[in-house]
A = this chain, B = another copy of it.
């Protein structure tokens, strides 16, 4: 006779085993590892919460301390591989297989473990794609998550860093998994409920805040004049002519420069109210001057940003805040917003090849993708028109009948021809290809594919790939903005000149921009301290960004 409640019964036995360490749902911190040993079984699919921002750090440490005779061969499914413990699990043999989306600080070590065969790689995903698989073929049996506080019933308040928690918990709790939450503290009454207590099995009070990385903070003091020039080009050459109002900015100094030029340069161009009003964006500190100057109508956020919580609370008209006044972020919904409701994604990368493919993976770093592949891809399921989208579609395909011609999302790569440590941005072949060969991967880890990229902006100008009619034109449009890199020097000057005459390539002078005007004085804020002032002292930067 077939039984149909195997997962439910397994869940009950896990709960009973864990209950030995619990009073109600509450487990003491010192018993965290024992709880995990009781609840988790070898070979389980475990989701350890952690993305590019928040981390369930106590639970990561506790999991890395389990007895590997008891717990081994885990299949880790998690947004970020960020903390040392995330990789210790594989070195120690506690975990074996990995499906993930992002790895920043651990990108070098993860590469070594992959090369050494210590990690069996499932795939590198974009966040929303990994969440999708939580509901189909990578559903976690155990989720280890982080929140700010819990009440006695296990209801959770995530604070402004809600982020991935709802997507993880729903998939786990409703498919008979076990949800274990670390919380900074247990309280009588929560400011608001972010996750219902029904969905949570065990709660551990950590006694201190979970770790959050201020990943989206860029010091205006470190923005170069070349970056300012690329920002001016983007604003005048892309934001303005397409009239981009709904958008997402990636991480980086180039996009931070754009944010800081809105109330100055863009204001002088008369663009206020015409561009950059509705955002899917983390609360970037460099957006403060634009907000204070009335540029920004609404921002929905993937996560919060360290130091921004009081400022957000004081600007509820702009941000999504709860009845308690604090931010409710949500990575899943913000990624959906970036995919389907934004007309532009603009971000930086480490390498761009001759077809416009780009990657942050280099030969010895497996950085992962985060949200870029989702936001930096054309959403072919989109059906609502908007001016920027229709215009981009028309440029790409002028000959099709208008009513049957879809628009295109603007996907812009922005950067200097030579990046950090003078490494060229443009390459003949992505290092990602070498990595794919070395690890025998089906796919090279490409972050944004060339056929989705619409524009590339460097200090040399803008290449509009929508206007290219074949691969050769595309290659030369790219070479034509690649400056003195080998790729740039490999250009056919005549062909590049033709592309410029057609407006496929636009130089600063073609846009009426004098590179000498790209001056730091154009930045609405020139330092972190300026940002604090703009915020009316509400922004509280983390100490590593304070030099006063």
Contact = CB atoms under 8 A, between A and B. Distances in A.
A398 B462 CA distance: 32
A383 B444 contact: no
A417 to B, nearest CB: 23
Interface in A286-330: 292, 294, 298, 300, 314-318, 320-323, 328, 330
A361 to B, nearest CB: 11
A2 interface: yes
Interface string A398-419: 0001111110000000000000
Given A126-B383, A135-B320, A378-B380, 10 more contacts: A2-B292, A129-B340, A131-B333, A133-B341, A135-B300, A139-B298, A170-B333, A175-B320, A375-B381, A406-B443
B316 A383 contact: no
- What are the 6 tightest A-B residue pairs by CB atom distance, in nearest-first order? A123-B384, A132-B340, A193-B196, A377-B381, A136-B341, A132-B341
8 contacts: A8-B316, A123-B383, A132-B339, A135-B300, A136-B342, A192-B198, A403-B442, A406-B449
A382 B446 CA distance: 11
A170, A245, A339, A404 — which one has the most chain B CB atoms within 10 A of its CB? Answer: A404
Interface stretch (A53-61, A433-441, A504-512): A433-441
Contacts of A382: 126, 129, 373
Contacts of A128: 336, 340, 381
Contacts of A298: 136-137, 139, 175
Interface string A112-130: 0000000000111110110
Interface of A: 2-8, 99, 122-126, 128-129, 131-133, 135-137, 139, 155, 167, 170-171, 173-176, 192-194, 196-199, 245-246, 278-280, 292, 294, 298, 300, 314-318, 320-323, 328, 330, 332-334, 336-337, 339-342, 355, 357, 369, 373-385, 390, 401-406, 433, 436-437, 441-446, 449, 452
